[in-house]
Amino acid sequence: MSEPIALPGAPLPMSTTPRPREDDPRMAEMRRAAEEFEAIFLAQMMAPMFEGLDTDGLGGGGMGEEIFRPMLIERYADALSQAGGVGIADSIVRELMRLQETVPPEAANGADR
């Protein structure tokens, strides 16, 4: 039997694999990974904003601030991501859910690897 041909723009065939519920540990793990990715992305985007700052205030400048500033940026990014972020985590979770729905049941168990 031949495989069905996917037309451009046509939806992918849906599998019979049940979608994880909000209280499912897999869903919580997907959300955690997506928020962690978003936090890393935000930290990378925010780092250049702080490079040109002269600091005589909070950290006092010098080697100490140079060492701790990346950690502060990471905490800012984590806080932003936990507070809802910029929507990257939501997009990642949606895409992961979509990918789980489109995996054929026979491929989901890894037997064809």
Burial class (CB in 10 A: 0-12, 13-18, 19+), 4: exposed
Distance CA(85)–CA(81), nearest Å, equals: 4
Q: For 76-88, write each residue's pLDDT tens digit.
A: 999 998 888 888 9
What pLDDT, on a 0 to 100 scale, did the predictor assign at position 77? 93
**∠ CA(111), CA(94), CA(83), 5° rounding?**
130
Q: What predicted TM-score, i.e. pTM, was given to this entire model?
A: 0.62
Q: For 35-45, write each residue's pLDDT tens digit.
A: 999 999 999 99
